[in-house]
Structure 1
Amino acid sequence: MAFTHLHVHTEYSLLDGECRITELPKAAAALGQKAIAITDHGVLYGAVDFYSECKAVGIKPIIGCEMYVAPRSRFDKQHGVDSEPFHLVLLVKNTIGYENLMRLISQSFTEGFYSWPRIDLPLLERHHEGLIALSACVYGVVSRHLLNRDTHSARNSAKQYKSIFGDDFYIELQQHNTERECQVNASLIYLSRELSIPLVATNDVHYIKKEDAEIQKLLGCISTNTRFDEAGNDAFPTDEFYLKSEEEMKKLFPEFPEAIENTAKIAEQCNFDFDFTKLHLPAFKPDTGETPKEYLRKICFEGLDKKEKDGKLYFNKEKYTEQINYELAVVDKMGFTEYYLIVWDFIRFAKSNNIPVGPGRGSVVGSAAAYFMGVTEVDPLRYGLLFERFLNPERINMPDFDIDFCNDRRGEVIDYVGRKYGHDHVAQIVTFGTMACRAAVRDVGRALGMAYNDVDEVLKLFSRDFNITVNSALESNSELRELYKNDSSIKKLIDYSMRLEGRPRHISIHAAGIVITDKPVYAYLPLAQSGDVTVTQFTMTTVEKLGLLKIDFLGLRYLTIIENAVQQIKKNQPDFSIYNIPLDDADTYMLLEKGRTEGLFQLESDGMRSLLMRLKPRSIEDITVAISLYRPGPMVSIPQYLENRSSPNKVKYKCELIKDILEPTHGCIIYQEQVMQICRKLAGYTYGHADIVRRAMAKKKKHLMDKERSAFIEGAAVNGVDSQIATSVFDEICDFAKYAFNKSHASGYAFVSYRTAYLKAHYPTEYMCALISSVIGYNGKVYDYIEDCRSMGISVLPPDINESESGFTVSGGNIRFGLLGIKNVGVTFVEKLLNEKRERKFTSVENFLQRMANDSNTRMLESMAKCGVFDSFGIERSRLCAVFEIALSNLSDMNRNNAPGQISLFDSGRHNSSLKIEYPQIEEFPLLVKLQMEKELTGIYISGHPTDNFRADNICNLSKLRQMLETGEIADKKVITAVGIIIKNRLKTTKKDEIMSFCVFEDGYGEAELIIFPKTLDKYAKMLTVGGILEISGEVSLKEGYNDTADELKIVVRTVKYATKAAKQNNISEIIDVNDDKDIYIKVTAENKQNLEQLLAVAKKSRGKSKLCIYFEDEKKLVAAKNINCNADKETLQNFSKLIGADNVALKQKQ
């Protein structure tokens, strides 16, 4: 007899299970157990991984699930009545049982979800075959009724389950020393005997070791957003919910040995295995009546004939014919003919509907068949790509067709696939959000009740490396290790965080993955819900492992940018085609050589720009090299590559046989394909074998490498290569294989990069316009690209009510700002505005309001006015902002009364035939205020820049300064002078407990980070305020900075001074001399009473901290204006004085 755990929760009972799937089967095997079940809450997320891990350690996996059963129907979702489902454990006996469990789980999400995924009894009756049912824990229906002292209902529920499952229904006995179990166990035993339902002993396993109980409690706190020390965390009131040994379980139930024996009996009945050997591709039936094989061949050779006719064959036709025949034979042999046709079909749909498709992504770019079908656009023979990197007879998994589509229209292609194969045959794929390093620390700190600032101080000691782990942070930072050693609370924080890091926390939708099946998806995969979208419960790797077709439908923003730019170009050049541009254009390569790569696909980072300036590309192949080299790992080869490229005669090859393989890359191994070619040419490997070895090298599988080393040396000896040379070559490719890049993928992306560069070189206005439109809402990017426009002499015109569209548009040789680039202006409003404008342009503010008032609000209109949308009507922005609220209110009254006529916004009793606005006589906003409003609402300064009046010959332009540093025109650490504005100021405490500052500083051309050390900060701290326009001098650098960031322009500040003598005139936040400590008093007389409403309108726009107190002379009464606090600044006081006289306005100290 062997006890088997049949009620086990893993990490995939999200935040309710501590057992890691990689550890659980090993722990069970260590206890001598022969089988173990997985029964996560309502899902099968981890079932396949669990299965594989169990098989790896030689124990039987039992697939199961702890289901939620609705109290009534799964369709009933009444609050308070249906919100507490019962639990029921289901275990899979066989294939039919697994299929039924998938169906139950899928429908629990798609039909029964209400707080939890729920099934009901009618569903169980239909899908119970092949399943064993256990009554579950104290939340099971039988136990719940017993806890409520309702023996009658408990008995009836047990009978219902027995009637459904027969001898496959068991009553669970659990003993975790909890009060509720003590209440129900005797009654459960009684019902078991009364109804002849067998008992089964289980432990509700949530963690592996007894000492892990605190980790489980911690997970519960994170899940419920509570703290360790808060009451109510009693889901696990004892520390008995761990993986117990057989002896421990027997001691719990000495009087019921049959309950232990039944676990082994159940385990013996559960004999389900996943089948990883079969493919389940959807059928593709050609309309022509041909077989798929015949149809695929016809498509390929028709494509070849067309390329020949268009003069687009680089080699003779026979060479391509031979390659196509070879590929089609491999595709047919491996059963992927219909796979090719499925992909061809939806790409054909996309192209026939003018949906941009990428030239190729991933290793499929190496397929000549795909090229001549029109699936890819890169000639693999011309560019030396390998089909075998994509598909070869020795490959054991399915190849990947990953396709890039225009970001805006990707959904149309997915919808087409749904219509073609049936929407129930298509599903999106789940992905799991895990507890990343920093998030884990914050979650744990919150659960432990630590102060946010204390946790933040710990996280400041973690590097900014994207791949940082808690453990590596601890190893790499001595200050953190010291804290860990001496502070028990920090030690607990770090220890717990290491335990939780990497665990799945929630589900989401894979960005691109779609599964397409020959039967409804639920026949192969359990389904779940992520928001409103139905997704698979298995990740893409598991989906592929099960033999299902997974395709990545990726949305690539740059395809949208290219398409939008092309549409702009076609307005003047109707015959322009991006597919017919020359690939040897000198202007395009000169653009790259000069480093003008802002906004170019894959090429715009500072480091890539620097590489291109040294590389001086002259071909698509050069761009392919740059894309492949500028990555972590291969970067170390850049100096060697550039040196070899400049002196090819000095390059030495270890063996003459590999010279032709490495000569195109000047002796450096850059591509995965080169690793495969070397293995084939030197050691006689097949390409399939070479690809397997390449993968093993990349994953550093030492045992395989030791085996392959001997095979490689022996194979090389057959070809006359000395063993020492062979060993040296093998070691070199082993080292480079983990960094080598997929040349096919890089080649496809090089074409996209080249197209963006060509457009920028020849059609800069159209390209930049499309580029900026693509980043609306990301003000930092909008700012960067507009600065690039200005450096090219392209002006960005302010938004205009009649000239602007939703996005940025070409206007002459310039770019017009788009309406959606303005904060507080929404898509629906802009669509309505554009429809109105297309019928007839707006002629005045009154005309605009009469036509758009119903779709507008004050905040939106003020935002538009503040950045110049209405400037063409000749009304100052300040005066516009003063009238919108009253205008909209009175227009609303007019519409409600259905009384068309003239209306004065300050005398609502008059109604005439047309709308007329009376504007208050107030001054326009000062220039610096206008600029600040523009920056706040659009992300950029439109009317100028705050530093425009402070430029001089000795003042550096930050953008040019960066370029000069990159090119070596000026030396690192040179002392420079710059004028700019402080955008951000962050203080940091040094190890010596001193304060230093990091400021973001910009001058209208670029940005720099100012680094101000403690002694300098002591001198200038008061001047370093956000909004301050300053002249600074200091040492300039592009090296990695003091705050662990790289590739930023940095200036170590020496001196700071205001840009002019008048200090307060050089801070946007201070230019209006605010008197926050005073209130404004006004006197209303018989002479100025008629202007009161205008004054109140102005006051509402001048938001601040001062009360507006009004003295009514006639009534001898002083009142404070309700809901009005305004700025007691010079401008406001001047505007009040104009309306009611300077003698009637005063400031008084707050009381």
Structure 2
Amino acid sequence: MLRADFVHLHTHSHYSLLEALPKIPDLVEAAKVDGQQALALTDNGNLYGAIEFYKECKENGIKPILGVDFFVAPRARAQKEHRVDDHPSRLVLLAKNMSGYQNLLQLVSKSHLEGFYYRPRIDRELIELHHEGLIAILPASGGEHAQTLRNGNKERAREILAWYKKIFGDDCFAEITRHPEIARHDEQTKAILELARGELIEPVAACETYYLQQEDALARELVNKIRTAGVFNRDFEQAAHDYSFASRARALELFADLPEAVENTVRIAELCELELKLGKAIFPTFPIPKSSSDDRELRVLAEHGIGERQMGDTPELHTRINYELKIIADKGYASYFLIVADLLRHARDSGIFTNTRGSAAGSLVSYLCGITTVDPIEFNMPFERFLNPERPSAPDIDMDIADNRRDELIEYVRRKYGEDKVAQVGTFGTMMARAAVRDVARAMGHPYAIGDRLAKLIPFGKQGFPVTIQRSLEDVPELAQVYKTDGDSREILDLARKIEGNARHVGVHAAGVVIAPTPIVDYSPIQIDPKGNHIITQYDMYSIADEYGGIGLLKFDILGLTNLSVLADSVARVSVRLGVDIDLDKIPLDDTKVYELLTRGETLGVFQMAGGGMTSYLKDLKPTVIHDINAMVALYRPGPMAFIPEYIERKKDPARVKYLDPRMEEILKPTYGVLIYQDDVMMIAVQLAGYSWGEADKFRKAMGKKIPKEMAAQKEKFIAGCGAGGMKKEAVQKLWEQIETFAAYGFNKAHAASYGNLAYKTAYMKANFPVDYMAALLTADAGDVEKIAEVVAECKRMGIKVWPPSVQESKGNFTVIDDTNIRFGLYSIKNFGTGVADSIITARLPAQAGESGGPFADIGNFLSRIADRNLNKKSLEALIQSGALDDLGERGQLLTNIDALLSYQREHMKAPTDQGSLFGAGNSKPAPLKLPTSAPATMEERLGWEKELLGLYVSGHPLDKHKRKFGDPKKTIKHAKEHLRGVETVIAGHIEETRINMTKAGERMGFMKIADYSDAIEMVVFPRVLKELESLLSLGACVAVKGKISERNGESSFVVERAKAL
């Protein structure tokens, strides 16, 4: 029994998505500090925060009550008539037990899947169907009865109360609130009490909560304005209603005249006895013969893989297979392996390229079943890093899939296991520091420039380590100064801090897919993803996965990876163009062309190997074996990067390689004695210090966390174990010092091997089939202008010419013409539909009987053979301006006569076929097309069109007439950005974009993009300089500018001081 005097039963968290403020830990902490023993969470129309709330309450000794503040449709949920069905009422439902919780899952899911109309809505039919195990609280403000009373229809309100009483019986309560600040609220309350008593419905007290402190009312109003794209009204500050989190004392004071309503809060809390089973994995069912078992099927698959992988059938091999299979069987994980193996087999059979990353590559069973592509025996990778008898959580096999075919693979999962048993994992976009500042500034009615200026003073965070406004105020002097001296900025930042980190919208996890043994809705509420295509879970990965103490559904990570799409495309191109079929899982790992390419630093487009820093190290390292590539994958990260020079020196000079104990040579020989991998440290702990594999795994985790108490305990155990194993005291101490240094930086060896293998494959294709690989890379980057420009520049360096599109040669994507020439694809042209592109490609196919085919003879022939009605003025203009019709006519002439071209095409489409009329009226084709001469397009026009339609200059560059001034690589924008930050220097280039903003003082300030052959950079031109130089710094101008490069948040800009025309 609760020793409580009041319980909050109607509270909202930030998971009400821009309608409430409290984060779950803050809400629970507020209850704990006030001595409250139970607490309900009732977010608007969802259960997003339910599991987080449940766990947080349990950890803090508070009884969690799960509920939802539902939207109820005015009529049936299927009815969606504007201005009739877009004004739902409200109903709070609380789960008494597991039956009630299951009904909450059903109601929430159906409100999103069936009743969504502006809001997720339930209706009376669903309430009647799913009322068991639920307590109904009829809201004092939004309830249907309350709305009806406000409209003056007392009898209808009575009927509504009677209906709810009939459905829920004694579990139906009428909410009573206290808002003396709201006009006529007391009058409404009395009417509700009178009607409720007449229907034998008991009252329950509520302090509806949307924020914790009344001072947060303004911030809550702001998130409402952010949600509705409205602007905050300053009058709100005086008229704000109180929806703060009331203390017990305050609640008892508010309801002193109605003690039974307060007592009913405790009574309801006592009725709610929901206990969830969390943190235990729930495995889906893999279809197998009735006479078999998951363990038997997995063994058959693994043993079959011995021959598939061409491995020697030795006793040692079977010993390891049996060892792994026993652990998998004891853990009950066989079905998981079978599901993943089946999924990847289907991918291979369908030509979908995959890669498996993470510790799964340490499993021989995974390798034999076709789950991974790296032999764990060859690379000395322990199974126990992936799975050991003492590991409590389920295994995690992370799959990378060619990103352009990921949806196909997920669709296969849906077909195999059932649409209702498969869902992608939901996630939440949160209001990070920069976004919160911009949102608040806009909602308060400030000009965009104000919020943008403040936001840009906040540094970018790193993935997993977001930067906060508070930290930025401490670390960025300029931001601190603005906060101190400018009242508007201070108000924006203070309010942004109140909403920072709150959930803003629902998204889809980049990789997570769950498969359940029964419908997903039995375990998690579901809804449609934001694009309206597929089902996602309302619970995020932390509420789903057993390792985080979630509901336990098994999450399969299926991540789309562009590099795999590039590999698949390049392999297919080589097969079609050269007749060479490549199996990338069987290519030699000692190809000299690969290592020579990496040694030369030609790494653009090579997975994990590109970038200035990595390239520089590779040129120094001169890799010769796959282990070098794996090591660079592991070492090129903040922290372990410091070990790269030592690794390189040891490779160059074997005399530098020494081992503190002879037993370490077998473990560390591939890395020249350098501790790089967590797996190697685990093996040292097992072989030298006598650890079990379970103890070694705990040792690995302790190193990663670097908790002093844990490290001290491990140090004592490790040193004692090494001493008992025969190591000298001095050597043990040195070894421990090495491990301590390594602790924070250790990398997963299997992950490095998987990614190193993929890096090698991309380098292999680039080194051996360069033009096909680069065409595939261009295709994958289509739409990203900056990446395309980089790849085109790399093609030029490689001696490969990239041409504009051509109706004579281009296919849809970037097209290989021969070993040294690539053309833009027709799909790359802006304002040009794929349907017309496909019509052109089809018309160009070799002639069929009675039809013309092959190359187009002239522009008339082209127009007469393209019968696609979508070849309109806009698309024909795009073809001309992009250069796709250069082989058939001059751009200026074609563009001047575009109306005549379209008229000719229309006439041809109207003309009868070659069969003619029975009476001789056929064969009346349009006259041959003759175009009058006109002025040809200038080079500036041609380049401008290419830039607009293809994203970059292809047939030339605006700087070509000044080319002699750009020969020195140390005078390029790229060199300046990399080596001359903060140093006064001169750069030159072509101005591609201009923008003028107004400063707070009302002065004009310029922002311009300047580019040369190597790179581009934003120029910042302050008001004083702009007044003097604006005529020079015009769009399209070729100029030299003097100034300094500054960098903020990883973005470089050039502050202009002087300028002159080239």
State the TM-score, normalized to the length of structure 2.
Answer: 0.90
The partner residue of 1:429 within 422, 425, 432 is: 425
Q: Take 2:1039 and 2:828, find their aligned partners in 1: how far apart are those partners?
A: 29
User: Is the contact made by 2:981 and 2:1047 (CA closer than 8 Å) also made in structure 1?
Assistant: no
| 1:946 corresponds to 2:958 | yes
**Structure 1 residues 184 and 718: CA distance shift in structure 2, 3 A:** farther
Instruction: Determine which of 815, 818, 838 is the counterpart of 1:831.
Output: 838
State the match for 2:1037 in structure 1. 1028
Match of 1:355 among 348, 352, 359: 352
Aligned runs of 1:548-947 on 2, under 5 Å? Answer: 548-571=553-576, 572-650=578-656, 661-719=667-725, 733-734=739-740, 736-813=742-819, 814-838=821-845, 840-841=853-854, 842-850=856-864, 851-852=866-867, 854-873=869-888, 875-888=889-902, 892=906, 913-914=925-926, 916-947=928-959
Q: Give the Cα separation in 2 of the matches to 1:502 and 1:239.
A: 25
Q: Relative contact order (alpha carbons < 8 A, sep ≥ 6): 1 or 2 greater?
A: 2
**Superposition deviation, residue 192 in structure 1:** 2.3
Alignment of 1:1046-1061 (within 5 A): 1058-1059=1061-1062
Q: Secondary structure at the match of 2:148?
A: helix
Q: Determine helix, strand or coil for the equivalent of 2:788.
A: helix
Q: Is the 8 A contact 1:285 1:292 kept in 2?
A: no
Check the 8 A contact 2:373/2:585 in 1, yes or no: no
Equivalent of 2:293 in 291, 294, 303? 291
1: distance between equivalents of 2:675 and 2:500?
Answer: 36
* Contact 2:904 2:926 (C-alpha < 8 Å) held by counterparts: no
**AA partner of residue 410 (structure 2):** I
* Partners of 1:988 and 1:997 within 8 A in 2: yes
- Aligned position for 2:334: 337
In structure 2, what is the Cα distance between the partners aligned to 1:509 and 1:171? 38
Q: Greater CA deviation, 733-742 or 653-662?
A: 653-662
CA distance in 2, matches of 1:104, 1:1012: 58
Equivalent-residue separation in structure 2 for 1:39 and 1:125 (angstroms): 20
Does the 8 A contact of 1:437 with 1:470 survive in 2?
A: yes
Q: Give the structure 2 partner of residue 221 of structure 1.
A: 225
RMSD (CA atoms): 3.4
CA 417–709 in structure 1, closer or farther in 2 if over 3 Å, else same: same
Cα distance in 1 for residues equivalent to 2:959 and 2:442: 44
- AA aligned to 1:1029 is C
Secondary structure of the residue that 1:429 maps to in structure 2?
A: strand
Match of 2:94, SS state, is strand
Which residue, out of 12, 16, 31, partners 2:15? 12
Aligned to 1:199: 203
Q: Which moved more, 1:817-826 or 1:570-579?
A: 570-579
What is the alpha-carbon distance in structure 2 between the residues aligned to residue 612 and residue 553 of structure 1?
31
Question: Is the 8 Å Cα contact of residues 106 and 521 (structure 2) preserved in structure 1?
Answer: yes
Q: CA deviation at 1:280?
A: 2.2
Q: Secondary structure at the match of 1:87?
A: strand
> 3-state SS of the aligned residue for 2:623?
coil
> Contact 1:866/1:877 (CA < 8 Å) preserved in 2?
yes
* Local SS of the residue matching 2:426: strand
**How far 1:774 moved relative to its partner?**
1.0
1:941 counterpart letter in structure 2: Y
Give ranges in structure 1 of 5+ residues lacking alignment: 902-910, 1036-1040, 1060-1151
TM-superposed CA distance for 1:1058, in Å, is: 4.2
Which of the residues 114, 117, 122 maps onto 1:119? 122
SS for the counterpart of 1:952 is helix
Distance verdict in 2 for CA 1:331–1:29, change over 3 Å = same
* Equivalent residues of 2:434, 2:456 under 8 A apart: no
Distance in 1 between residues matched to 2:243 and 2:1040, nearest whole Å: 66
Deviations 1:434-484 (A, max 9, x none): 001110110111122222222222233223444432122111111221222
Q: Distance in 2 between matches of 1:252 and 1:707?
A: 54
Tell me which moved more, 569-578 or 763-772: 569-578
For 2:448, the aligned partner's letter is Y
Q: Distance in 2 between matches of 1:954 and 1:490?
A: 44
**Structure 1 contact 433–507 (Cα < 8 Å) conserved:** yes
Structure 2: gaps spanning 5 or more residues: 848-852, 915-922
Correspondence list, 1:127-526, <5 A:
127-177=130-180, 178-179=182-183, 181-229=185-233, 238-287=240-289, 289-308=291-310, 317-358=314-355, 360-466=356-462, 467-526=466-525
Contact 1:957–1:1006, Cα closer than 8 Å, also in 2: no
The one-letter code sitting in structure 2 at the alignment partner of 1:785 is V
Alpha-carbon spacing, 1:998–1:464, altered in 2? closer, same or farther (3 Å): farther
8 Å CA contact 2:574, 2:581 repeated in 1? no
Q: CA 1:708–1:47 in structure 2 vs 1: closer, same or farther (change >3 Å)?
A: farther
Partner-residue secondary structure (3-state), 1:137: coil
CA-CA distance at 1:961 after TM superposition: 9.7
8 Å contact from structure 1 (residues 86, 140) kept in 2: yes
- The one-letter amino acid of 1:609's match is T
Letter in 2 for 1:774: A
Range with greater deviation from structure 2 (191-200 or 685-694) = 685-694
Q: Higher mean Cα deviation, 816-825 or 384-393?
A: 384-393
Structure showing greater radius of gyration is 1
- Is the contact between residue 894 and residue 900 of structure 1 (CA under 8 Å) also seen in structure 2? no
| Per-residue CA distance 1:214-270 (angstroms, 9 max, x = gap) | 222222222222233267x69x95442122122211222222211111111111111
Q: Retained in 2: the 8 A contact 1:133–1:168?
A: yes
Which residue pairs with 2:991 in the alignment? Answer: 982
Measure how far apart 1:174 and its partner are: 1.0
Q: What does 1:991-1030 align with in structure 2 at a 5 Å threshold? A: 1001-1004=1010-1013, 1006-1007=1015-1016, 1022-1030=1031-1039
What do the CA deviations read for 1:516-550 (whole angstroms, capped 9, x no partner)?
Answer: 00001111111122231221000123211222121
Query: Are the counterparts in 1 of residues 14 and 20 from structure 2 also a CA contact under 8 Å?
Result: yes
2: CA distance, partners of 1:18 / 1:736: 42
Q: Could you say if the C-alpha distance between residues 742 and 858 of structure 1 is closer, same or farther in structure 2, counting changes exceeding 3 Å?
A: same
- Give the conservation status (yes or no) of the 8 Å contact 1:1030–1:1056: yes
Size of the aligned set, in residue pairs, is 1031
Counterpart AA for 1:1028: A
- CA displacement, residues 483-503 of structure 1 (integer Å, 9 cap, x when unaligned): 222323222222222221111
- Mark the CA change 1:727 to 1:5 in structure 2 (over 3 Å): closer, same or farther: farther
Q: CA deviation at 1:9?
A: 0.4
- Tell me the distance in 2 between the aligned counterparts of 1:618 and 1:982: 44
Contact preservation (8 Å) 2:973, 2:987:
no
Q: What's the offset of the Cα at 1:331?
A: 0.6
| Cα distance change of structure 1 residues 386 and 912 upon mapping to structure 2, 3 Å threshold | same
SS across alignment from 2:340: helix
Other structure's SS at 1:403 match: strand
> 2: distance between equivalents of 1:208 and 1:953?
64
Deviations 1:984-1013 (Å, cap 9, x if unpaired)?
Answer: 568999999999988655444555778999
For 1:337, give the aligned amino acid. A
CA separation of 1:465 and 1:276: change in aligned 2, threshold 3 A = closer
Report the equivalent of 1:82.
85
CA distance, structure 1, for counterparts of residue 615 and residue 670 of structure 2? 22
Distance (Å, rounded) in 1 between the aligned partners of 2:783 and 2:745 = 36
Separation in structure 2 between the aligned mates of residue 141 and residue 925 of structure 1, nearest angstrom: 69
Q: CA deviation at 1:186?
A: 0.7
